[in-house]
């Protein structure tokens, strides 16, 4: 499916960093950057710009903070047209110091928020736009929100200088019909805005739900290498590149970085479709309980886990 307007953003380092507290080696991050540069991907998200007061540096790797100088160090000497993004959680951030965009290696700042924090998100978007950055707003956990509250947030964003607004299936709970409904809802209340989709793979629907978003004119799509991400992970970037018929894409560098880095890493770090994540997905719950279960001695007692979660919801 070829549509020139579609842009692909890789969130391997950012979403994958949620598994290991963002302790990726510079070699790995540079390897991903080089591969994506050769493959024609549009954006690479390096991680979070987080406050050190809230997230102590002794507990997290460099990609929890994404300092400009650290990004420059890793990309130095690589010829690339690949744009760089970082994410900021609007709802748990202290004062952030951003350089003007023309003095930073970062092109786009993605503002993550929940509906109840939309005012803080818009304040941060205004600040970033004034500094010259491209911006997105990623409203998380929309599968848990009341539609009137979501619509009110969209109406506020319609007046804000945000470039892209994402439909985010945080809990991997949505089906294609719901993705269609939400993309159309966003289009109705965000005239003139570009829409994006970010899907999680609890029910093995991240790829198909991303395609559903594309069908209904979402033009920004997220993926990660081998689907790496917290819990069940994300839509696989390699699947997206195979699906999108844009001649600028070259899948070979992606396959090379998969074999060199992601496949060996998968033997050391767990992510991807697993039954506990499926259970939280069908129950429309945050995967934190499944993540905790997978770290315990009863990690494969699925019926017990389902009963525990179901009872907690009663």
Q: How far is CA 214 from CA 7, 171, 179, in A?
A: 11, 20, 10
Is the per-residue pLDDT at 120 higher than 70? yes
Residue-wise pLDDT tens digits, 11-69: 999 999 999 999 999 999 999 999 999 999 999 999 999 999 899 999 999 999 999 99
Q: What does the pLDDT average to over 269-292? A: 96
Q: Would you place residue 2 in the very low, low, confident or very high pLDDT band (cuts 50, 70, 90)?
A: confident
Instruction: Give the rounded percent of residues in the chain with a pLDDT score beyond 70.
Output: 99
HSE-CB of 108 using CA atoms within 13 angstroms? 26
Q: What residue segments make up the domains of the chain, in order of their start?
A: 7-266, 275-313
User: What are 138-194's pLDDT values in tens digits?
Assistant: 999 999 999 999 999 999 999 999 999 999 999 999 999 999 999 999 999 999 999
The model's pLDDT over 261-270, given as tens digits with 9 standing for 90+, comes to 999 999 999 9
| 243: pLDDT strictly greater than 80 | yes
Q: What pLDDT score was predicted for residue 92? A: 81
Please tell me the predicted confidence (pLDDT) of residue 186: 98
CATH dotted code for 7-266: 3.20.20.70
pLDDT of 314 higher than 90: no
Residue-averaged pLDDT of the chain: 96
Predicted confidence (pLDDT) per residue in 189-228, tens digit: 999 999 999 999 999 999 999 999 999 999 999 999 999 9
- pLDDT, tens digit, for every residue of 84-109? 999 999 988 776 679 999 999 999 99
Name the pTM for this structure.
0.96
> Which residue carries 């089906």 as its tokens?
175
Please enumerate in sequence order all residues whose Cβ is within 8 A of that of 27, keeping only pairs 6 or more positions apart, or say none: none
């Amino acid at each position: 499916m070829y549509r020139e307007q579609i842009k692909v953003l890789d969130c391997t380092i950012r979403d994958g960093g949620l598994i290991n507290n963002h302790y990726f080696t510079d070699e790995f991050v540079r390897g991903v950057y080089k591969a994506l540069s050769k493959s024609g991907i549009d954006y690479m998200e390096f991680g979070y710009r987080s406050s050190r007061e809230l997230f102590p540096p002794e507990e997290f790797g460099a990609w929890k903070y994404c300092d400009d100088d650290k990004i420059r160090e890793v990309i130095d000497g690589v010829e690339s047209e690949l744009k760089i993004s970082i994410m900021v959680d609007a709802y748990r951030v202290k004062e952030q110091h951003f350089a003007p965009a023309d003095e930073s290696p970062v092109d786009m700042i993605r503002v993550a928020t929940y509906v109840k924090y939309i005012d803080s998100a818009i304040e941060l978007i205004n600040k970033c736009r004034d500094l010259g950055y491209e911006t997105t707003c990623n409203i998380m956990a929309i599968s848990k929100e009341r539609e009137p509250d979501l619509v009110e947030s969209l109406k506020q964003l319609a007046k804000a200088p945000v470039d892209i607004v994402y439909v985010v299936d945080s809990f991997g709970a949505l089906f294609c019909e719901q993705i269609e409904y939400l993309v159309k809802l966003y289009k109705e209340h965000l005239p003139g805005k570009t829409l994006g989709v970010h899907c999680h793979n609890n029910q093995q629907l991240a790829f198909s739900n991303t395609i559903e978003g594309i069908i209904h004119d979402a033009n920004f799509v997220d993926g990660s290498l081998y689907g790496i991400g917290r819990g069940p992970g994300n839509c696989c970037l390699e699947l997206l590149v195979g699906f999108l018929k844009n001649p600028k894409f070259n899948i070979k560098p992606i396959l090379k970085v998969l074999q060199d880095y992601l496949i060996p890493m998968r033997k050391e770090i767990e992510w991807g479709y697993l039954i506990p994540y499926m259970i939280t997905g069908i129950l429309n719950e945050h995967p934190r309980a499944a993540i905790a279960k997978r770290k315990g001695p009863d990690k494969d007692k699925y019926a017990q886990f389902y009963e525990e979660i179901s009872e907690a919801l009663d």
